[in-house]
Amino acid sequence: MSTLGDYIVRRGLQTLVAFFILITIGFFLFRVMPGDPTAILLLNPRIPPETRLLLRERLGLDEPLHLQYFIFIKNFFMGEFGYSFHYGRPVTEIILSRKMFNTITLVGSSVVLAIAIALLMALVAARRRGSRSDAGLLVFSLATYSMPVFWLGMLLLLAFSVNLGLFPLGGTISATKVHESTLDYITDYLWHMALPLTALVLIQIGYNFLIMRNTLIDISMEDYVTVAHAKGLPEKIVMRKYVLRNAMLPFVTIVALQLAGIFTGAVLTETIFSWDGLGLLLYEAVTTRDYPLLQGLFMLIASAFLIANYIADILYAILDPRVRYR
């Protein structure tokens, strides 16, 4: 017999294995692949050669490869990712900052909004399957699903910022404006967030809607729903107590599975709207070839997602006990 406790431990061990796979990927990317992370320092004549030697020593680049691997593992668990070439500050400090807050705010609110809107659309479509509004919603979601998010962002900018002048061209906050109160600050923040949020929500709605519509239609054809109808229960009650309640689990799964994909969208959205988050930071780290920052970003973002997946799995097991027996 398998209990929840066993499941948590088993998934915990699997997550630990995943962490070692992640560290190995990171090691191959940043140590084994050609290219010396300190080489970029040569481009700057003001940096003395001793600095480079010191950095090589600190990163353990002169050690044999297998020793480097252990140093890499140790540094990872100590949260030691070195100093950013570009900012000159510890990588961990740059990442665990306001930028992370900005990304979480943008992504988090987009996920919630996209679920709510897609659910409403799915309810309409599933109830009137095959109708004109169903077809319209399907076309809409197929189109947004096939759209690159950065292009959608460009269109929103062209329409609402450039032509109508309703929203700012980018950024997180008006740099020159003096904010009189907290409320004033929040309003300014939300005003900047409106367009990137719209782009991220639109891009998720298509996928969410297609899955939710299918789930709702599948469940409406179950025998117990037919029985509920036959008993003469009103449509609203059948929907809420029989169909929606059973549709909740698949919804949870799709959101958890989509998490990594949404972040991908966030990187591109932040780049287009200069939203001061981790995605924009990643873009800047690539364009400035900021090696330590790239490595830190990769390891920290990937770790966050491994842990998030672990938590999602456990929540799912609590909601649906059948999972544990797998």
Partner 1 sequence: MIKKYQKRTTRVSAIRDAIIDLRRTLREYWLLFSNNMLGITGLLMLGIFVAIAITAPQLAPYDEWEMGVCKPFEPPSAVHLFGCDELGRDLFTLFLYGTRVSLIVGIVAALISTMIGGAIGIVAGYTGGKIDSLLMRITDTFLSIPAIVLMIILAALLGPSFVNIIIVIAILTWPPIARIVRSQVLSVKEHPYIEAARAVGAGSLRIMTRHILPNVMPILFANMILQISNAIIAEAALSFLGLGDPHTTSWGMILHYAHVSGAIAAGYWWYVIPPGLGILFLVLSFVLIGYALDEIVNPRLRRA
Using CB under 8 A as the criterion, what x/- string covers residues 93-132 for binding partner 1? ----------------------------------------
For helices 4-27 and 65-78, what crossing angle results, to 10°?
Answer: 130
Among residues 3, 14, 131, 133, the one that binds partner 1 under rule CB under 8 A: 14
Q: In this structure, are residues 118 and 202 in contact, taking their beta carbons and an 8 Å threshold?
A: no
What part of residues 256-275 is at the interface with partner 1 (CB under 8 A)? 259-261, 263-264, 267-268, 271-272
The verdict on 21 binding partner 1 (CB under 8 A) reads: yes
Tell me 41's DSSP state: G
CB of 271 to partner 1, least distance (A): 7
Among residues 117, 123, 302, 317, the one that binds partner 1 under rule CB under 8 A: 302
Start-to-end CA distance of the chain, whole Å, equals 11
* Strand, coil or helix: 83: strand
CB of 19 to partner 1, least distance (A): 8
The verdict on 306 binding partner 1 (CB under 8 A) reads: yes
Q: What is the identity of the amino acid at 133?
A: S
| Percent helix / strand / coil, the chain, rounded to 5 | 80, 0, 20
Our CB check for partner 1 shows the closer of 54 and 286 to be: 286
Our CB check for partner 1 shows the closer of 248 and 260 to be: 260
Is the alpha carbon torsion for 238, 239, 245, 250 positive or negative? positive
The verdict on 301 binding partner 1 (CB under 8 A) reads: yes
Which tokens sit at 20? 């070692």
The verdict on 9 binding partner 1 (CB under 8 A) reads: no
Stretch that binds partner 1, among 144-152, 193-201, 222-230, 231-239 (CB under 8 A): 144-152
CB of 320 to partner 1, least distance (A): 19
Q: What is the identity of the amino acid at 257?
A: L
Q: How far is CA 108 from CA 93, 101, 121, 201, 259, in A?
A: 22, 10, 20, 10, 10
With CB under 8 A as the rule, give the number of residues binding partner 1.
47
The verdict on 33 binding partner 1 (CB under 8 A) reads: yes
Q: In this structure, are residues 170 and 195 in contact, taking their beta carbons and an 8 Å threshold?
A: no
Rounded to an integer, what distance in angstroms lies between the CA atom of residue 181 and that of residue 74?
Answer: 45
Chain residues binding partner 1 by CB under 8 A are 14, 17-18, 21-22, 25, 29, 33, 35, 142-143, 145-148, 150-151, 154-155, 157-158, 162-163, 169, 259-261, 263-264, 267-268, 271-272, 282-283, 286-287, 289, 294, 297-298, 301-302, 305-306, 308-309
